[in-house]
């Protein structure tokens, strides 16, 4: 049995993140602290993304308030699937308890760096390129008009050195006609690794069709936000890339079972979680046997990470839950 506590946190982004879903200014979530009978502590993070169909923060808070204390391993593995971010958090806290995990080297180097959206990329591009060893970058599209974005895109690829790969993430915001235009350009310019979620999740058939007609890869993200959706898309014929955001996918063990059962091409990706969720997500990404694709965790520039005592402060200054 584990005695446990939770704290709600709010973390402002240094610059708002602009995507097809809107402007994002504050990351909110919940930190979980599990205490084993021998005194070992394990940390976990609930970082919901309701735009992707996960539970909301308020649903997660209600769930935490309803959960037993002390908590058994059985109840951790019985968290219902409508709380995927909670499943991830409690399973990661459990893993974090084991000393073997705590001493393991994390932070692999192969990250995809998330660029500022739209024209905001230009003023800082040289600094970003100089500061990063990575060869993979991601740029959000389907935020401004197609004409404007095509124009910016041409200027952007002109300024990228040889050997750089670019991911374009539409967050489901393109039409079929616009997707065809982007895919045609991507096929011609040979610098695009993949286009991520061009159409909304309701248009899987159309994305299957697009994937047959172009050579540039398509990655599903919003369409495969939880374990059930990953399996469903695979069974409906998706053989392209799956973007996996471990913090909202659900059970960690469930995800490992899925990649052992099917030959899935996975790209791991952040939900702008804190270092607690990040550590568990990266640990999971390291267990995935195929390592060719850069991890979508090049997002630390969006936060001020300079306070090593943030967790201690969160625990002592916020209400005791
Ligand atoms: O995947 C990446 O490379 C960066 C992370 C990212 O784009 C993202 C971050 C938070 C919420 C949604 C998304 C997304 O992939 O759509
Ligand atoms: Mg995405």
Please name each of the domains of the chain with its CATH number.
Answer: 1-103+305-315 (3.30.390.10), 109-300 (3.20.20.120)
Distance 170 CA to ligand 2 centre (A): 7
* DSSP at 52: G
Q: How far apart are the first and last CA of the chain?
A: 18
Task: Give the pTM.
Answer: 0.96
Q: Could you tell me where the beta strands, DSSP code E, fall in 81-123?
A: 111-114
Catalytic residue among 245, 260, 261, 290: 245
Question: Does ligand 1 have an atom closer than 6 angstroms to the CB of 54?
Answer: no
The first and second tokens of residue 110, run together, are: 């192969």
Residue-wise pLDDT for 178-233, tens only, equals 999 999 999 999 999 999 999 999 999 999 999 999 999 999 999 999 999 999 99
Residue-wise pLDDT for 112-141, tens only, equals 999 999 999 999 999 999 999 899 999 999
Asked about 140 being catalytic, the answer comes back as yes
For residue 89, give every residue at least 6 positions away whose Cβ sits within 8 Å of its Cβ, in sequence order, or none: 30, 32, 44, 45, 46, 247, 277
Question: Which string of b and e fits 60-69 if b means at least 16 CB within 10 Å?
Answer: bbebbeebee
Q: Which ligand is nearest to the CA of 52?
A: 1
Q: Which residues are annotated as a binding site for Mg(2+)?
A: 169, 196, 221
Q: How many residues does the chain have?
A: 321
Q: Which ligand is nearest to the CA of 224?
A: 2
User: Nearest 5 degrees, angle CA 291-CA 297-CA 300?
Assistant: 150
Distance 136 CA to ligand 1 centre (A): 14
Say what percent of the chain tops pLDDT 70.
Answer: 96
Catalytic residue among 138, 140, 165, 279: 140
Q: Give the residue-averaged pLDDT of 294-316.
A: 95
13 pLDDT tier (thresholds 50, 70, 90):
very high
Distance 224 CA to ligand 1 centre (A): 13
| Position in ligand 1 atom list of the atom nearest CA 52 | 12
Q: With 0-12 CB in 10 A as exposed, 13-18 as middle and 19+ as buried, what is 72?
A: exposed
- Cα gap 135→177, rounded to integer Å: 30
Distance 138 CA to ligand 1 centre (A): 9
- Cα gap 258→249, rounded to integer Å: 11
Question: Does ligand 1 have an atom closer than 6 angstroms to the CB of 55?
Answer: no
Question: Does ligand 1 have an atom closer than 6 angstroms to the CB of 273?
Answer: no
* DSSP at 237: T
Torsion of CA 178, 182, 183, 187, to 10 degrees: 150
Q: What local confidence, expressed as pLDDT, does residue 102 receive?
A: 62
Sign of CA dihedral 224, 228, 231, 235: negative
């Amino acid at each position: 049995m584990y005695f446990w506590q939770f704290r709600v946190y709010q973390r402002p982004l240094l610059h708002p993140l602009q995507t097809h879903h809107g402007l994002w200014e504050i990351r909110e979530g919940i930190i979980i602290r599990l205490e084993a009978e021998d005194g070992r502590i394990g940390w976990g993070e609930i970082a919901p993304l309701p735009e992707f169909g996960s539970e909301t923060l308020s649903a997660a808070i209600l769930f935490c308030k309803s959960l037993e204390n002390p908590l058994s391993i059985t109840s951790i593995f019985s968290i219902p699937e409508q709380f995927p971010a909670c499943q991830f958090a409690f399973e990661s806290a459990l893993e974090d308890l084991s000393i073997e995990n705590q001493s393991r080297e994390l932070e692999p180097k192969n990250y995809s760096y998330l660029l500022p959206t739209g024209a905001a990329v230009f003023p800082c591009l040289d600094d970003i390129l100089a500061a990063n060893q990575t060869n993979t970058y991601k740029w959000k599209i389907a935020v401004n008009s197609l004409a404007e974005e095509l124009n910016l895109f041409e200027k952007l690829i002109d300024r990228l050195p040889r050997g750089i790969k670019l991911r374009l993430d539409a967050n489901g915001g393109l039409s079929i006609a616009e997707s065809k235009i982007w895919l045609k350009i991507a096929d011609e310019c040979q610098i695009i690794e993949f286009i991520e979620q061009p159409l909304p999740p309701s248009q899987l058939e159309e994305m299957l069709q697009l994937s047959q007609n172009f050579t540039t890869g398509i990655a599903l993200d919003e369409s495969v936000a939880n374990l059930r959706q990953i399996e469903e898309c695979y069974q409906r014929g998706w053989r392209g890339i799956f973007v996996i955001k471990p913090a909202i996918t659900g059970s960690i063990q469930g995800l490992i079972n899925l990649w052992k059962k099917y030959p899935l091409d996975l790209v791991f990706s952040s939900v702008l979680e804190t270092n607690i969720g990040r550590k568990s997500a990266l640990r999971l990404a390291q267990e995935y046997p195929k390592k060719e694709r850069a991890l979508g965790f090049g997002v630390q520039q969006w936060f001020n990470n300079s306070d090593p005592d943030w967790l201690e402060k969160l625990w002592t200054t916020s209400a005791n839950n």
